[in-house]
Amino acid sequence: MTSPAPAAHTSDPARRNSFVLPRMNAVAQVRAGKKTRRIPQLLLGLVGYGAAVMLLVRSGLGAASWNVLTEGTANALGISFGWATNLIALLVLVAWIPLRELPGLGTLLNVAIVGFAADATATVLPDPQGPLAAIGYLLLGLVALAFFDALYLGAQFGSGPRDGIMTGLVRLTRLPVALVRTGIEVTVAVGGWLLGGTVGAGTVLIALCMGPLVGYFLPLVAVRLPAEPSPAPASAPAPASAPEGTSVDFPKSGPGA
């Protein structure tokens, strides 16, 4: 099995914007190196993500689309925000089956940790006093959500359930990521609003800024994994001679090999 090439580190802003994480299955994620950094980074990212979610909810200015749906589900079913988060995550994982998405360790821990971290934050986070405090909650929550999202993704243990829906639909429909993500966010936000979730100016701000912020943070916090060297054959046969006037193409090494 050929290991994906490690993402190249670059300070070039143009290349940073095109940064992508190598795609690995669950076995490859666990076998990859640097686990003493990756596992704590994964856990910190997921806990911070849950705390940032609650900051946005408490701002009262409009949460992200999936949080609008979570809030509406919690209100409709009479359960806590954390339990609603976990319930939706499990339902989304079921939707992975027709999309043929495979979960990783990060996917499973996302379901287990984010909701409880949001509930724990709610017990100690006071309501904002006045509009300036609410705006502060919104801006801090937005930046924190993007940072901790990039942090857990950068640990390279797999994406959360909602990100898997997006990547699966992109692969099956061949539509642009921006179009698919926008369609998902609009559908989810409308559904959450119909259930009683809060939609406000913050919802629009988050939808417009999350992508660029995650794109900025991800190259800075992603763990660069060394590629496993391919085992060399004991004795490589010499290439067959080609007729005069023709050339022999040798396979190139690298990510595209």
The three-state DSSP-derived secondary structure of 65-90 is: HHHHHHHHHHHHHCCCHHHHHHHHHH
SS3 content of the chain, % helix, strand, coil (to 5): 65, 0, 35
What local confidence, expressed as pLDDT, does residue 138 receive?
Answer: 93
What local confidence, expressed as pLDDT, does residue 10 receive?
Answer: 45
Residue 21 buriedness (CB in 10 A; 0-12 / 13-18 / 19+)? middle
What local confidence, expressed as pLDDT, does residue 242 receive?
Answer: 44
Contact 81, 196 (CB under 8 A): no
What local confidence, expressed as pLDDT, does residue 228 receive?
Answer: 55
Query: Which tens digit of pLDDT belongs to each residue from 91-106?
Result: 998 888 888 877 788 8
Question: What is the C-alpha separation between 87 and 77, in angstroms, rounded?
Answer: 11
Alpha-carbon 209 to chain mean position: 15
| pTM attached to this predicted model | 0.71
- All residue ranges of the chain with pLDDT < 70 are 1-23, 167, 170, 176-178, 181, 227-257
CA distances from 229 to 5, 151, 232 (A): 10, 27, 9
What local confidence, expressed as pLDDT, does residue 14 receive?
Answer: 44
Question: What is the C-alpha separation between 127 and 20, in angstroms, rounded?
Answer: 38
What local confidence, expressed as pLDDT, does residue 239 receive?
Answer: 52
Query: Which tens digit of pLDDT belongs to each residue from 36-93?
Result: 899 999 999 999 999 998 998 898 887 788 888 998 999 999 988 888 988 998 899 8
What local confidence, expressed as pLDDT, does residue 165 receive?
Answer: 84
Query: What's the chain's Rg over C-alpha atoms?
Result: 22
Amino acid of residue 51: A
